[in-house]
Structure 1
């Protein structure tokens, strides 16, 4: 029997710091909801807008897989591993914090905002050596199909993390359909709608809604309008 959980966009936590306008799908910082702590190994899904020229000062992480997906604009990254990079819309970045890493992120542009998703996933290995990976995606590979952007395998498409997780992006025209087959038994999928309206397993979803589904081997997807979305397949127990 499948299980589902629906998180409407307007039920997310919200913090407007001026320089940062952040929406939290799961408990984060000063926003705590005991029913919204995580979805399996998925701990954080933050939908952030960073004002021009602003950003996050140097701060530490450990034993977490941190995935950043810029949606608009650029994000400059600097870390204690010696990486100094700029990630842009169309890129995906992952940092395995492992034994510990410090990093800063800021919007290097003086005249426009940066929008991004930051996602934290609990790893399946503790205290690994910290690592950094960044790739540029081809947007055509998600046009009316599912583009894999993350997996557990370094030789597979997209970035890789220390967890049995698979992420896909889709950009579907209205009425396009697809079937998603889960990669691993015991996993669930958390869908996040970036724009438009989408039907997943019979549930109608709108922009910035989140929808979790588990105890299922596959499910159908249909774009009710032109729609962009992210599917995160995650272990429910880890």
Structure 2
């Protein structure tokens, strides 16, 4: 990781410009290079390497697969997702429940759609979630898992810490990640409600649903994202019911 001198910048990325992968059972939009999609100029922002916006059909999901040296945070918007991993952890993730998996020196896990309705013999409900990956402070840590219900805190309409390794969030209702320079915040906003963004060397704002206005940059719709460098403090105001995810990062991946 690296901390460097920066010039202020606000870079708006529109939903339709994201990489896309569709495998029938999975409709995935990628904010950064992922899988078969690679752009040397779009591999990360700050410490954030992956921001995948996934919709998985009922009765399907990701079979057991490996990860290593990554802090993986999953945020469900609709439906529910079953997690199982090689350390013996399992759980059901649903809206308002934050989940973190530390891949560390190596872990195997699967994620399956657990949101379905039985109509005859047909399972019909998809699960919609955002999965985000940040690098850890250290390689080779012990794999781990944590989930935490924060639905109540989101009722306030304020920006709520969801996952953090930063000292100022010690004791807050947030899952812990193994990076002391990064924190994920979320807000659920009704029309007219607004929040102020943190001030940090690197911010990533993602609008997984609804629409908002960003001070100084204008309207943002579902799937839009903004990458901030050496700036912050702008207000985000909902123009319709919306949910936002904000990564606050005080370092970047070393070149």
Query: Paired residue for 1:170?
Result: 187
Separation in 2, partners of 1:147, 1:157: 8
Deviations 1:10-62 (A, max 9, x none): 00011110111111111111112222211111000001111111011111111
* 8 Å CA contact 1:39, 1:236 repeated in 2: no
The reply on whether 1:161 has 2:177 as its aligned counterpart is: yes
Separation in 2, partners of 1:15, 1:68: 18
**SS of residue matched to 2:197:** strand
Query: Paired residue for 2:75?
Result: 69
Please, what TM-score do these two structures have when normalized by structure 1?
0.92
**SS of residue matched to 1:215:** strand
* 8 Å CA contact 1:64, 1:122 repeated in 2: yes
The reply on whether 1:98 has 2:104 as its aligned counterpart is: yes
Query: Paired residue for 1:112?
Result: 125
**SS of residue matched to 2:141:** coil
Unaligned runs of 5+ in 1: none
Give runs of ≥4 in structure 1 deviating > 6 Å: none
Query: Paired residue for 2:223?
Result: 208
* 8 Å CA contact 1:151, 1:157 repeated in 2: no
Unaligned runs of 5+ in 2: 1-6, 117-122
Structure 1 residues 199 and 2 mapped into 2: Cα distance closer, same or farther (>3 Å)? Answer: farther
* 8 Å CA contact 1:142, 1:169 repeated in 2: no
The reply on whether 1:221 has 2:236 as its aligned counterpart is: yes
Q: Following TM superposition, by how much is the alpha carbon of 1:123 offset from its aligned partner in structure 2, in angstroms?
A: 1.0
- Most deviating of 6-15 and 108-117: 108-117
* 8 Å CA contact 2:204, 2:248 repeated in 1: yes
Q: Following TM superposition, by how much is the alpha carbon of 1:178 offset from its aligned partner in structure 2, in angstroms?
A: 2.6
- Aligned match for 1:57, one of 36, 60, 63: 63
Number of equivalenced pairs = 235
Q: Following TM superposition, by how much is the alpha carbon of 1:139 offset from its aligned partner in structure 2, in angstroms?
A: 4.5
Query: Paired residue for 1:230?
Result: 245
The reply on whether 1:180 has 2:197 as its aligned counterpart is: yes
Structure 1 residues 39 and 95 mapped into 2: Cα distance closer, same or farther (>3 Å)? Answer: same
Please, what TM-score do these two structures have when normalized by structure 2?
0.86
| Structure-to-structure mapping, 1:115-154, within 5 angstroms | 115-139=128-152, 141-152=154-165
Structure 1 residues 84 and 225 mapped into 2: Cα distance closer, same or farther (>3 Å)? Answer: closer
Q: Following TM superposition, by how much is the alpha carbon of 1:236 offset from its aligned partner in structure 2, in angstroms?
A: 4.0
The reply on whether 1:191 has 2:205 as its aligned counterpart is: yes
* 8 Å CA contact 1:191, 1:212 repeated in 2: yes
**SS of residue matched to 1:29:** coil
RMSD: 1.7
* 8 Å CA contact 1:40, 1:234 repeated in 2: yes
Separation in 2, partners of 1:192, 1:237: 18
Query: Paired residue for 1:78?
Result: 84
